[in-house]
Chain A
Amino acid sequence: MSEAYLNGKFIGTVENPNEFIKKVRDGRRKGTVSNNLNIYYNKITSNIQMNDDKGRLRRPLIVIKDGQSLLTESHIKKLENNEILFSDLVKQGVIEYLDAAEEENAFVAFSREALTKEHTHLEIAPMAMVGLCTSLVPYANFSPGARISIGSKNQKQALGMYAINFPIRIDMDINMLHYPQMPLVQSVMHDVSNYNKHPSGQNMVVAIMSYKGYNVDDAVVLNRASIDRGLGRSTYYRPAIAEELRYSGGLTDEVSIPDKDVKGYKSEKDYRLLEKDGIIFQEAKVTEGDVIIGKTSPPRFLSSMDQYNFAPSSRRESSKALKHGEEGIVDFVLITENSEGNRLIQVKIRDQRIPEIGDKFTSRHGQKGVVGLIVDQADMPFTASGITPDLLFSPHGIPSRMTISHLIELISGKVGALSSRYIDGTLFDVEPEKMLRKELLSLGFRENGVETMYNGITGEQMEAKIYIGNIYYMKLRHMVANKIHARARGPIQLLTRQPTEGRAKEGGLRLGEMEKDTFVAHGASLLLKERFDADRTIVPVCEECGMVAVHDTFKNRLYCPVCGDNVEINFIEVSYAFKLLLDELKSLTIHPKLILKNKY
């Protein structure tokens, strides 16, 4: 007797569990039971678990009966002729979806040849074991799983063509690769998923060698000539969006060139690119500070009198301007209306991104790295036939990560490029490496992929033969231009008078607690003081009560709000944060008394 559970809830007992489960499964294949239901028999607790709720990961498998696959030649022929669909096979019970639990009861054959009487299911294709992104990794079964996962994750960050209608779309933070290429080494999934219609990388000539230490620690060296010819070039798009908001009392924002007497007026230069309607024109070159959409808002607090007094001076400036460090060209202006009926202006700004030091590139095997150096073609190593690589990859990235697929792709990419054809690198079902090597030999190259190379600077022949070929490389969306940040002077916070935080606010780089400790450990006491001088203030202190006094610079008068005029008041230098602490202590009704003493 077994207990039966549906979605974790007890629903009853079953006399003969095996018979019951068989009945349910047969019913599911016939279509009398929903094919969303999965059933699982736990031998240890002898419980039956059934699930038909959402959120279970399921995968399709071919059903096997008595060692015979239910999927026959005629099914395949009909599929090819579009007479039936995949879903029809599911309906007929030829293919069924198993969840993780039911897989425990199944015995799945890897291939048709491996079928025995005991098997209950057959893989549709070995490739079906992995997901869409992972099956885009060529030769994936030659590398550790962890690397394949990283490789498939990296592909999601690759630049390519994300949508065909991109010229009329407004998207946040979007990149378009300029000359995407179809990968030379493909898998079946590249066809199935139409990847070749919107590829996101380029076939680069890669030499696996070091270059003066500029590709240590996962860096890569790029060829300047390749970059000048458009390799890895992309465009970055971001919109500036302004909305004419409506406020109570019939007041609205207004998109226009702001008047000079508007509160917070920038400078005439900043508004120079605006047309009469207060919006910038297309193809305008903009740099930081330039206003893209001129806008004014009504004053924040309306007194009862102000309602009848619409002096333009009471309006606030609220234009959209380019932030610090940004530049580009206005690509496209869209004027429309949002769901609330407010006028909405969207301006798309484009900026060309040429690969530079610090940009991130990756192959499809989890071998990502940033550009360490861009070398003139003249200084690049070259082969006997005069080929200079586009990219130099460090050999130290290989041993610890064991990404053999990366190495194999290099050979098959080379064969593909030389014989102008696409190579199949589908997981578990690849063109044998042996054949590729033979083909490479017949094309007049060494069969192991190495070539004699010469130092580009001295012209000397290199002692070692260099492993060189084609690998599909992708540019990832992390580019230095979006991340570079430094500051010497800049904005401070209102409350603490300390520098702001973060790149967006042009903030300072924090010298934290532990960094402070290093100064103390070196005994660099005065340097430490200077580093922390950012919020330095000079405050008058009343000698009588020891609290901060008032310095009226207008009347040039010193007085203590507590003790009055006739006290001695002296100036001290402290951090503003400390002055703030004193104020907070006062608010706690604690009297913080400063006892002043001459230092010397």
Chain B
Amino acid sequence: MKNLFKKYEGKLPLKVINDLKENMPKNISEAKLKKILEETVTEYNKMLVQPGESVGLVGAESIGEPGTQMTLNTFHFAGVAEMNVTMGLPRIIEILDGKKNISTPMTEIYLKKPYSQGKDIKRLALSIKETTLKEIVSEFVVDIAESKIEIKFDEKKMQDIGVDYPVIQKSIKANFKELALSKKGDVITLKLNEKEKELNQLFKTKEKIKEIYVQGIKGITQVLPIKKGDEFLIITAGTNLKKILELDFVNKPRTISNNVFEISSVLGIEAARQVIINEVYKVIENQGLNVDIRHLMLVADTMCATGAVKGVTRYGVVKEKSSVLARASFETPIKHIFNASLIGEVDNLNSVVENVMLNQPVPVGTGLPGLITKVKRS
């Protein structure tokens, strides 16, 4: 029986063969199995896209048409435990245009075993969040006469976030080497150098100290521990996937961000392609629309085909087209025609737009095949 399956490995995808293997009764006869496999092959071939099918255009129309029905912005998540996320048409445009800075970058952090059950979840979340000094300070006192700054800390907040004085002192020292530092109770006093005794300098230093990085991951502006099904995970606003994946309590294979470019640089282009598909599909599903996922796969494939993420814009995917006329018919025609004339580009009229312009049969569907006959020589 195994031999028979092996025979069909080239004709059917592995997944289909495995499915068949699993669902076949143990004592099936050889002849019957062969019949089933033959039938599967014909069915499979029927389902394949036929040569000459204009998949790109059908895909574009299939995404574009329901797109006209999309409500521009959805204003939900007004509740307490959720964040406002860009959804709807703006989000789709953002993804397909290949925007580098997306409007709401987010990470979903899945956790390893004890933590995914809710252990220390709040502390973990806060430890990820990028904390600056001003967030744990209750009062700044600027002493002009002595030219020193007294910083009073909010110890309760410090406890919540999980910072202690040595860490703070260390990070202040790292940023301001010239300051003399002394601690008394919950107050840290900083004294300026004799040289820099100017009043202006004092205030400037105070403002700089406020923004000192204390702990957490840079770029994470907000954290939100939530329960999804029966496990806990952390959602963050702002992304820094590289740093997050370095943490030891993170379930690395499942943690994902919604920033396509970040994914492509951290996890690679295949992951980026999958994120494009997932994110667009999420929006379409969210709007209650029905678009076949294969259309999105095609778009994602085109965007990622070069190995780098390219948006569907005149600087991205369209720029990669080989035909001058096709590029010119999209946007900025004069630029393309001039540049083509400078280097003497040749347009081989291989795709649809050029052939419509020249009133030639477009090479899709019935226009694709040609007939070749042998001419009898008499």
Contacts and interface: CB of A to CB of B under 8 A. Distances in A.
B338 A520 contact: no
A253 to B, nearest CB: 44
Contacts of B341: 585, 590-591
A523 B359 contact: no
A524 interface: yes
Interface stretch (A329-337, A370-378, A549-557, A571-579): A571-579
Interface stretch (A92-100, A167-175, A528-536): A528-536
Contacts, number: 73
Contacts of B144: none
B13 interface: no
Given A574-B358, A575-B357, A585 B367 contact: no
A581 interface: yes
B16 interface: no
A43 interface: no
Contacts of B58: 521
A523 B366 contact: yes
B142 interface: no
Interface of B: 52-54, 57-58, 61, 337-338, 341, 346, 352, 356-368, 370, 372
A595 B347 CA distance: 9
Given A520-B57, A521-B54, A526 B367 contact: yes
Contacts of B356: 516, 528, 532
Nearest to B359: A575
Given A523-B367, A578-B357, 16 more contacts: A516-B356, A522-B365, A523-B54, A524-B365, A524-B366, A525-B366, A529-B367, A535-B359, A536-B359, A573-B359, A574-B359, A575-B357, A575-B358, A575-B359, A581-B357, A599-B370
A585 B352 contact: no
A525 B337 contact: no
A247 to B, nearest CB: 43
Interface string A385-411: 000000000000000000000000000
A517 B61 contact: yes
B54 A600 contact: no
Contacts of B364: 520, 523, 525
A522 B55 CA distance: 10
A520 B54 contact: yes
Contacts of B365: 520, 522-525
A280 to B, nearest CB: 45
Contact of B359 (A517, A520, A527, A533): A533
Contact of B372 (A527, A573, A600): A600
A356 to B, nearest CB: 35
Contacts of A521: 54, 57-58, 61
Contacts of A516: 356
A526 B57 contact: no
Pick the 3 closest A-B CB pairs, nearest first. Answer: A523-B365, A525-B367, A575-B359
Contact of B357 (A523, A527, A577, A585): A577
B352 A526 contact: no
B337 A590 contact: yes
B34 to A, nearest CB: 35
A600 B369 CA distance: 12
B358 A528 contact: no
Given A520-B352, A585-B337, A590-B341, A525 B368 contact: yes
Nearest to B367: A525
A222 B54 CA distance: 48
A464 B315 CA distance: 66
Nearest to B366: A525
Contacts of B53: 523
A194 to B, nearest CB: 49
16 contacts: A517-B57, A521-B57, A524-B365, A525-B365, A525-B368, A526-B361, A526-B367, A528-B356, A529-B362, A532-B356, A536-B359, A578-B357, A578-B358, A578-B359, A599-B370, A600-B372
A524 B357 CA distance: 16
Given A523-B365, A600-B372, A529 B352 contact: no
Interface residues of A, number: 29
Nearest to A533: B359
Contacts of A585: 337, 341
B155 to A, nearest CB: 47
Contact of A525 (B338, B357, B362): B362
A525 B363 contact: yes
Contacts of A524: 365-366
A152 B356 CA distance: 49
Among A516, A535, A591: residue with most chain B CB under 10 A: A516
A591 to B, nearest CB: 7
Nearest to A599: B370
Contacts of A533: 359
A590 B370 CA distance: 33
Given A585-B337, A590-B337, A528 B357 contact: no
Contacts of A522: 365
A294 to B, nearest CB: 43
Given A523-B53, A523-B365, A595-B346, A529 B360 contact: yes
Contacts of A599: 370
B366 A526 contact: yes
B353 to A, nearest CB: 10
A533 B346 CA distance: 25
A585 to B, nearest CB: 7
A107 B358 CA distance: 72
Most buried by A among B337, B341, B357, B365: B365
Nearest to A525: B367
Contacts of B352: 520
A516 B360 CA distance: 14
Nearest to B348: A595
Interface in A474-511: none
A528 B356 CA distance: 8
B362 A590 contact: no
A357 B52 CA distance: 44
Contacts of B361: 525-526, 528-529
Nearest to A535: B359
Given A520-B364, A574-B359, A600 B370 contact: yes
Which among A521, A522, A581, A588 has the highest number of chain B CB atoms within 10 Å? A521
Contacts of B337: 585, 588, 590
Contacts of A532: 356, 359
Nearest to B373: A600
A596 B59 CA distance: 33
A523 B358 contact: no
Nearest to B340: A590
Contacts of B61: 517, 521
Contacts of B372: 600
Contacts of A526: 361, 366-367
Contacts of A590: 337-338, 341
A233 B302 CA distance: 62
Contacts of A523: 52-54, 364-368
Interface centre among A528, A574, A581 (most CB of B within 10 A): A528
A536 to B, nearest CB: 6
A527 to B, nearest CB: 8
Contacts of A536: 359
A503 to B, nearest CB: 26
Nearest to A584: B337
A307 to B, nearest CB: 47
Nearest to B362: A525
Interface in A245-279: none
Contacts of B363: 525
Contacts of B358: 574-575, 578
A578 B360 CA distance: 11
Contacts of A574: 358-360
A599 B355 CA distance: 14
A354 B341 CA distance: 62
Given A523-B365, A524-B366, A529 B359 contact: yes
A12 B299 CA distance: 67
Contacts of A535: 359
Contacts of A600: 370, 372
